[in-house]
């Protein structure tokens, strides 16, 4: 699926092996700096995009499908070189380390110097919505409506160049307020929630801006 936008700008890929990739494609549709949007399923498609969004879904299934499609190593190479944003399961995939995995663990792409805990908040019925602030990204007074579904959180930051973009602002179940739910490290960004399930595309705009700046 390709959507043409302007004659100049970036080509954004959305990994389409599993998960909520169509919702991300719809969120990107009206961003003027987006030249094309490509649902990425093959190495050739991956090589044709300037940046990549790894959507929410089921990280174990996503990794297994990527391995079966011979996409794991191309993805690992891509995320170390080009702007990539992981949302929910995508954040798990980008992490260097994950806890709470099923028996036997799972394949990760790595590249982001964090440790995450999978399914931090419990099962599907424990999903919730909350407002988050992104002061360095969206401004102090412009909160973002965040949707958390079987979401991970960041339990450790392993490098000084990882920037915290947002934290929970109140306790949720057994998870403390101030828990980190969004970070950026250079050309990599990760959010624990599903920004594609809202009508607010400001984080998508920010990621596209990241990609434009990276390509200059």
For the question of residue 194 being annotated catalytic, the response is yes
Residue 23 is labelled as binding a ligand? no
Q: Say if residues 51 and 13 touch (Cβ distance below 8 Å).
A: yes
Annotated catalytic residue, options 24, 36, 187, 194 = 194
Question: Helix 21-28 crosses helix 202-215 at what angle (to 10 degrees)?
Answer: 80
Annotated catalytic residue, options 196, 204, 209, 214 = 196
Q: Supply 194's token pair.
A: 């599903």
For the question of residue 88 being annotated catalytic, the response is yes
For the question of residue 169 being annotated catalytic, the response is no
In three-state form (DSSP H/G/I as H, E/B as E, the rest C), the secondary structure along 155-196 is: EEECCCCCEEEEECCCCECCECCCCEEEEEECCEEEECCCHH
Residue 57 is labelled as binding a ligand? yes
Spatial CA neighbour of 40 closest among 29, 61, 55: 55
Residue 31 is labelled as binding a ligand? no
Residue 65 is labelled as binding a ligand? no
Residue 167 is labelled as binding a ligand? no
Q: Which residues does residue 34 pair with via DSSP β-bridges, in sequence order?
A: 10
Residue 59 is labelled as binding a ligand? yes
Annotated catalytic residue, options 24, 36, 51, 88 = 88
Binding-site positions for L-glutamine read: 57-59, 118, 149-150
Catalytic residues, by residue number, are 88, 194, 196
């Amino acid at each position: 699926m390709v959507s043409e936008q302007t004659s100049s700008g970036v080509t954004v890929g959305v990994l389409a092996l599993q998960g909520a990739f169509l919702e991300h494609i719809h969120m990107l549709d009206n961003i003027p700096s987006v030249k094309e949007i490509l649902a990425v399923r093959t190495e050739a498609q991956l090589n044709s995009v300037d940046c990549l969004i790894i959507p929410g879904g089921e990280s174990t299934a996503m990794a297994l499908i990527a391995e079966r499609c011979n996409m794991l190593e191309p993805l690992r190479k891509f995320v170390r070189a080009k702007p990539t944003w992981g949302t929910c399961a995508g954040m798990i995939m980008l992490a260097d380390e994950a806890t709470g995995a099923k028996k036997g663990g799972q394949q990760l792409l790595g590249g982001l110097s964090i440790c995450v805990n999978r399914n931090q908040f419990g099962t599907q019925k424990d999903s919730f919505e909350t407002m988050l602030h992104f002061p360095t990204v969206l401004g102090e007074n412009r909160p973002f409506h965040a949707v958390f579904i079987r979401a991970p959180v960041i339990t450790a930051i392993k490098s000084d160049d990882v920037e915290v973009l947002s934290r929970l602002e109140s306790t949720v179940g057994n998870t403390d307020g101030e828990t980190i739910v969004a970070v950026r490290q250079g050309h990599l960004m990760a959010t624990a929630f599903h920004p594609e399930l809202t009508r607010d595309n400001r984080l998508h705009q920010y990621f596209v801006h990241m990609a434009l700046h990276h390509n200059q």
